[in-house]
A and B are shown apart, each in its own frame.
Chain A
Amino acid sequence: MVDQSAVGRCFTPVTARVEPGRLRYFLNTLGEENPVYRNMDAARAAGLTGMPVPPTYLFCLEMMDVDDPFEMFTALGIDLARVLHGEQSFVYHAPVLVGDTLTFRPSVTSVAEKKGGAMTLIGVRCAVTNQDGVHVADTARTIVVRNEVAA
């Protein structure tokens, strides 16, 4: 079971490029037709200098470009089949635009047991910077591990 010793652990930083083709696939999957994501004029009209990404796309970029998408689970000995997503948050400091290259730096910020040890909640935070060193966002997720409880 994951314990307090995991708090403070950092994982390999992830460098991700905001590629237009992959973004279009995401937009099409979601039926996203908002022109701000597809049309430069609409993006400019919204006050941006390039085409933005949808609000949750940072989460995807980190997963798409990581060398080992399950590095954290392997490092902490977590069985993928026992993982659920509990909470997710994004704080946006500056625009993320098509063509940007982002760096994600994930680390474990908390570990808590719930329901008498039936679940472990793991908090993971990620600072996100762009190619100019601008701190564009912070993401945070809570991973729920359904522990095997002795009968």
Chain B
Amino acid sequence: MTASGDIKAGDRLVHKVFPPITRHTLALYCGASGDHNPIHVDIDFARAAGFPDVFAHGMLVMAYLGQALTDVVPPSRLRHFSTRFVAITQLGAKLTCEGTVAELFAENGERRARLALTTRDDRGEVKLEGSAIVAL
């Protein structure tokens, strides 16, 4: 992480682009995450549920955002991480995860920053909105 004294509100700390989401990724994530809901891997099930195709697990998308976050903030400094799943992430989506410093504050005897986080697809559509609190 950048020397903590230099961080100020508005700084973009997090930025990472991920490869397109494939059916293979969804199948692997199904096993890797323990989330066996067939809606993410079985097109017949997804269609019967009213969706045109399978779609990404929200938690896969959040895992990418978490990866972008801990690329710049050591996991031991992460205090809080939350997201709202704004829109379904489709197959082929190429996700960009970003985080900017929203505020700096002191809590529990630490200097902390709240980061505003977003994940967008390659058309710019917001998929996740979230925040993280990190110790500086």
Contact = CB atoms under 8 A, between A and B. Distances in A.
A34 B16 CA distance: 13
A46 B135 CA distance: 13
A82 B63 contact: no
Given A32-B67, A36-B70, A81-B39, A52 B75 contact: yes
With a 10 A CB-CB cut-off, give which of A22, A66, A85 has the most chain B CB atoms: A85
B36 A90 contact: no
A29 B57 CA distance: 13
A39 interface: no
B70 A88 contact: no
A85 B48 contact: no
Interface residues of A, number: 43
B9 to A, nearest CB: 22
Interface string B69-84: 1110011101111111
Contacts, number: 119
Nearest to B45: A81
A51 B55 CA distance: 31
B59 A59 contact: yes
B49 interface: yes
A48 interface: yes
Contact of A30 (B67, B69, B76): B67
Nearest to B60: A30
A117 interface: no
Contacts of B74: 36, 46-47
A31 interface: yes
With a 10 A CB-CB cut-off, give which of B45, B60, B85, B88 has the most chain A CB atoms: B85
A34 B18 CA distance: 14
B75 A85 contact: no
Given A30-B64, A55-B75, A88 B59 contact: yes
B44 to A, nearest CB: 11
A91 B78 CA distance: 9
20 contacts: A25-B28, A28-B32, A30-B64, A46-B76, A47-B74, A48-B75, A52-B75, A54-B67, A54-B75, A55-B70, A56-B63, A56-B66, A63-B34, A63-B36, A64-B34, A66-B34, A85-B58, A87-B84, A88-B62, A92-B79
Given A26-B32, A29-B28, 10 more contacts: A25-B28, A25-B32, A31-B19, A34-B71, A56-B81, A60-B33, A61-B34, A63-B35, A65-B34, A92-B80
